Amino acid sequence: MTLGDYRGRWIVLFSHPADFTPVCTSEFVAFAQAQGDFDALGCQLLGLSVDSLPSHLAWLDAIRRELKVTIGFPVIEDPSMTIARAYGMLDQTAENSSTVRSTFIIDPEGIVQTILTYPLSVGRSVSEILRTLKALQRTAKGGVLTPEGWQPGQAVFDPASLTTESVSEQNSPLWFYRLREDEA
C-alpha cells in the first residue's frame, strides 16, 4: 500500500504509540465509531504504528471481542520505523520506538493540509479531526475562510482585502473581518 493508492481522496493518516495501550485503544474505538462520517466525506482513515502485523491483528481482535468494535480501516505496520521517521512521528533521538500521536490530513492531490501532534499521554479528539476535515473541504472549494470552531452551515469569512485601494473602498474599520452566511 502507498499513499498514492488513495490519490483523489482525502486521507487521515494517524500514528499511535503502541498496540495494547489504553489511550490508543480509546482513539481506535472513536475512529471506528466515526468511520461512517469520514467515509461520507470521501476520507480514508489509515492508522500506523511501529508494532508488527501480528501485534496489530491480535490487538484489533481483542478490541472486537472485548469492546465489540470492529476496526474497518487499514492499520499499517512500520517495525523498521521508516514511515514514522520520514513523517516526523518519531524523534530521531528517541530512546524507544513509541511514536507521538501524529495526525496528518492529506488532500486529494496528496498535499498535507494539517498536522496535529499530541504527546503520548493525551488522546486526540476525533470530533476535532472531523471538524477540521470539513473546514478544509469547505475552504478547498474556494472563496472563503472558516472562523474558529467552524461547523458546516455556520457563517464564513470573505478573504481580507490585500490592497490599500480595496480596503478604502470597503469603508469599514472591520475590512479584515467580513463574516457572512455560507452559501455552500
State the catalytic residues.
24
CA distance 66 to 15: 23
Those residues whose C-beta lies under 8 Å from the C-beta of residue 90, and which sit 6 or more positions away, are 50, 81, 84, 97, 98, 99, 100
| 153 in Cβ contact with 135 (< 8 Å) | no
| 29 in Cβ contact with 60 (< 8 Å) | no
CA distance 71 to 13: 15
CA distance 101 to 115: 10
Q: Return the number of other C-beta atoms located less than 10 Å from residue 72's C-beta.
A: 12
CA distance 84 to 99: 7
